[in-house]
Homo-oligomer: A and B are copies of this chain.
Amino acid sequence: MARAISEERVSRLKEEFFQGFIKTCGINLVSLEHGRAESRLEITGAHSQQDDFAHAGVMATMADHTAGYAAFSVVTEDYRILTLEFKINFLRPATGDGLVCRARVVKEGKNILVADSEVFSQRNGVEKLVAKALVTLVAVPEQEFSNR
């Protein structure tokens, strides 16, 4: 179960994690091990919705992307990960200094992976669960992928 993932692979995935929309959102990968990933963002005005809470879309993006990298951590380098679908419940308004997301793979199938993602708000070091998601992902061989 607790198969190791090489430091080199972790470094590469951390770099790949933070680009495009995720850079726009300011979400950083904090840690990555086999089947588990944790990410964090500092809440700013760029993340708010009409009532000054962090937007549901920010939490959904964290839940999805962090699940994706938890999935990347269990497949070999010649596979790409795509999200098939996810479902997310918003449990309380998200306010505070930051958001942290913890995702873990709950099922490693041959091609299909399922991950559980939880998003917590942080204020003065106190965490509260603000959202909970279930994410279905597919591992696609890189070769097939580039031929699309």
Contact = CB atoms under 8 A, between A and B. Distances in A.
- Taken together, the copies of this chain in the complex come to 4
B21 A57 contact: yes
Contacts of A93: 82, 148
A5 interface: no
Interface of A: 16-17, 19-25, 45-52, 54-58, 60-62, 64-65, 80, 82-93, 106-107, 109, 111-112, 114, 116, 129, 132, 134, 136, 138, 145, 148
28 contacts: A20-B45, A20-B47, A20-B48, A21-B46, A21-B55, A22-B55, A22-B57, A24-B24, A25-B57, A55-B61, A56-B65, A56-B86, A58-B61, A60-B60, A60-B86, A82-B90, A84-B89, A84-B112, A85-B85, A85-B136, A86-B88, A87-B88, A89-B107, A91-B109, A92-B109, A93-B148, A106-B129, A112-B138
